[in-house]
Amino acid sequence: MFEALHYSFIQKALLAGGFISVLCAVLGVFLVLKKFSLIGDGLSHVTFFSIALGLFFKTSPLYVSVPVVAVSSLGILKLTEKGKVFGDTAIGIVSSLGIAGGVIIASLSGGFNLDLMSYLFGSILTIQWAEVVLSVALSALVIALVIFYYHDLVAATFDEESAKVMGINTGRVNKVLVLLTSLTVVLSMRIVGIMLVSSFLIIPAASALQLGLSFRSTILASAAFGFVSVISGIFISYAADIPAGASIVMVSFLLFCAAFGLRKVTGR
């Protein structure tokens, strides 16, 4: 299996996938604990719209997706905070709007083409070096921002009201969190695809939370679960000739089962 490492497409997939898996897993811990984990799913549907838009205007879907998904993530936050709409309802509204918009654009451009399908289900093995560089750079930027805001994020996730009384600008912290999530969803679409992107954010974090560790250790465990899922998922995909996105999610789920079983056995 290690001869696969000599192929350039595997090297690119491992590099981009490894970075993005860690990024998703770290952000996922905060999203899951804030009960905002489905935002990834909602934003991925908006990504569908933005990709259709990009393909319609024959521009790179990435350039269209970043601003469109970022604005949508702020829209979800505004609906929740100012509009007093429940978080899951706000996500549902924006999500269905994204799908509807995407279907309209796709039908105007003559139906679903191959490019759009590759974004729906991911094609990590066909990504280009430019995309790898962008993925690594943006992952590094997002991880740096998470480190910068780490204590603010933990305090606002644990108890938002007390965090405000500590002088923490929780409105800004929430904005940073959803903007980072939107960037992450856009970056992940080429790897696992729009349909499976939320699994990257949710499953590693949910697995780490089974272990009953401290906050810092939970983040590290989540990153490890995400990284192992992507790396082994890519190798399994190569060996078994199955789509990489799906095999990554399956490995991730097996790790969740193991963590869940461990919790039951140890009674933590």
Partner 1 sequence: MSVVEFKKVTYIASGKAVLDNISFTVSQGNFVGIVGQNGSGKTTLIKTLLGLLEKSSGEVKLFGENPARFRDWKKVGYIPQKVMTGENRFPLTASEAVGLGLLSGMKSPKSIDSADRAKVKATLETLNITGIADKLVGSLSGGQQQRVMLARALVNDPELLVLDEPTAALDVSAGEAFMKLIRDLNEMRKVTVLLVTHDIANIGKYADKMLYIDNKMVFFGTFGDFCVSPDAALYFGKYAQHIICHRHDHERAEGVARDV
Q: Are 26 and 222 in contact (CB under 8 A)?
A: yes
Cα separation, 266 vs 242, in Å, equals: 35
Give min distance, CB of 152 to partner 1, in A: 6
Report whether 119 contacts 61 (CB < 8 A).
Answer: yes
Rama region for 86: left / alpha / beta (φ>0; ψ in -120 to 50; rest):
beta
Smallest distance from partner 1 to CB 77, Å: 19
Written as one letter, the residue type at 47 is: T
In the complex with partner 1, which residue's Cβ is closer, 1 or 265?
265
For partner 1, the closer CB: 110 or 167: 167
Does 214 interact with partner 1 (rule: CB under 8 A)?
Answer: yes
Q: What is the CA radius of gyration of the chain?
A: 18
**Can you read off the two tokens belonging to residue 204?**
């590693």
- Regarding 154 and contact with partner 1 (CB under 8 A), the answer is yes
Q: Interface with partner 1 includes 217 (CB under 8 A)?
A: yes
Number of residues that bind partner 1 (CB under 8 A): 30
Based on CB atoms, which residue is closest to partner 1, 142 or 187?
A: 142
Identified binder of partner 1 from the candidate list 178, 209, 236, 259, rule CB under 8 A: 209
165 is written with which tokens?
């009384």
Q: Does 161 bind partner 1 (CB under 8 A)?
A: yes
What count of other Cβ atoms lies within 10 Å of the Cβ of residue 45?
A: 26
Residues within window 94-153 making contact with partner 1, judged by CB under 8 A: 147-152
Does 162 interact with partner 1 (rule: CB under 8 A)? Answer: yes
Q: Sign of torsion, CA 207 213 215 220? A: negative
Q: Which of residues 38-77 bind partner 1 (CB under 8 A)?
A: none
Look at phi and psi of residue 242 and say left if phi exceeds 0, alpha if psi is from -120 to 50, else beta: beta
Q: Of 213, 224, 231, 262, which lies in the binding site for partner 1, with binding defined by CB under 8 A?
A: 213
Binding positions for partner 1, rule: CB under 8 A: 29, 33, 147-152, 154-155, 158-159, 161-168, 208-210, 212-218
